[in-house]
Amino acid sequence: MQLQDILYSQGFGTRRVCAGLIQQGWVAIHQEGETEPVVCLDAVRDFDEHGLIMRVQGVDWPFQAKAYVMLHKPLATECSQKPSAYPSVYTLLPAPLRQRPSKGAVSGVQAVGRLDQDTTGLLLLSDDGQFIHRMSSPKKHVSKVYRVTVKHAIDASQIERLLASVVLDDDPRPVRAAACVQVDEHCMDLTLTEGKYHQVKRMIAAVGNRVEALHRARIGGLSLPEDLQPGQWRWLTQQELALLT
C-alpha cells in the first residue's frame, strides 16, 4: 500500500495532507521489532502495512486495520459527538482516532454504548461496526460490572430483589441483575447483561435506594486497568480483545 494511503487510512487527514506530511519529512517508518525508524520522503512508496509503525511528527503509531481502544471515562463528560452540557469524551482522543475514514467518509471511532455524564470507568471505542454491534446488542448478553455507591445502607432484601427481578418505572418487563455482590454498607458490584436507559439508577431506585456514584469496572472478561487514569486511553491488545469475545 502506498505510504500516503496508509496514513490516510489511519486518520492523518486527506491524501494530500498525508502526502505533505511525508514530503516535509514528518514521517518515519519501521517494522515492529526494528529499533530506529527511517524517514521516508516518497509519498507513493509501497509498504507492507502489517506490523508497520509510523512515527508521525514525533509520535509512534502502529498500523491498525481496525481501531479498538479503551478509555477511562472521567466525570462530567458526555459520550456524544455533540454534547449538550459537558465536554465530549471524544476530545480526550487524538485527532487521528477522531478522523479515521470509513467507506469514504470521516467518521472516526465510536463509543460502544454510552455512559452518563456522572458515570466513570471503562469505555470501549472502535471503528468496527460489527464489533460495536456485538458488544452493545442486548441479544449478545455481554456482561458489564458496575461499582455502585448508594445513599442508604444496603440490606439483604435489596440484593435479593435485584437478583430476582425489579420493574422499572416506565417498563412493564422485569429486569434483573446477573450478579450482585455487596462490597460494604453503601457499595455493591452489580453485573448486568443488557443496557437500558439509566438502568442501574432505575434498578437501585426500584429497591428503595439512590445511586450516589457509578463506575463501570469491567466489560466481559476485560477489567479497567489500574494504571489507566481518568481521561487516558490506549489500544486494546489482542489478548484483551479475546477477553471480549
Task: Tell which phi-psi region holds residue 208, choosing left (phi > 0), alpha (psi between -120 and 50) or beta.
Answer: left
Question: Which range marks the domain in which residue 151 is found?
Answer: 143-219
Structural domains counted in the chain: 3
Distance CA 177, CA 192 (A): 5
CATH for 188: 3.30.70.1560
Residues 212 and 227 in one domain: no
Q: How far apart are CA 134 and CA 228, in angstroms?
A: 25
> What does the pLDDT read at residue 40?
96
Domain co-membership, 30 together with 76: no
- Judgement on whether residues 57 and 178 belong to the same structural domain of the protein: no
Asked if residue 236 and residue 121 are part of one domain, the reply reads: yes
SS3 39: strand
Question: pLDDT of the chain along its 245 residues, tens only?
Answer: 999 999 999 999 999 999 999 999 999 999 887 778 999 999 999 999 999 999 999 999 999 999 999 999 999 999 999 999 999 999 999 999 999 998 766 689 999 999 999 999 999 999 999 999 999 888 888 999 999 999 999 999 999 999 999 999 878 889 999 999 999 999 999 999 988 889 999 999 999 999 999 999 999 999 999 999 999 999 999 999 999 97
Phi, psi angles (nearest 5°) of residue 8: -60, -45
Whether residue 19 sits in one domain with residue 117: no
Same domain flag for 228 and 117: yes
Q: Please name every residue paired with 30 in a beta bridge, in sequence order, or none if there are none.
A: 53
pTM comes to 0.94
pLDDT score for 104: 63
Regarding whether 176 and 165 lie in a shared domain, the answer is yes
User: Is 116 one of the catalytic residues?
Assistant: yes
**Does residue 115 sit in the same domain as residue 178?**
no
- 134 and 226 within one domain: yes
Which residue out of 5, 48, 116, 227 is catalytically annotated? 116
Residues 74 and 39 in one domain: no
Q: What is the CATH number of the domain that holds 21?
A: 3.10.290
**209 shares its domain with 227:** no
Q: Does 152 lie in the same domain as 105?
A: no
As a whole number of angstroms, the distance between CA 13 and CA 207 comes to 51
Look up the CATH number of the domain holding residue 128.
3.30.70.580
Which residue do the cell numbers 526494528 mark? 34
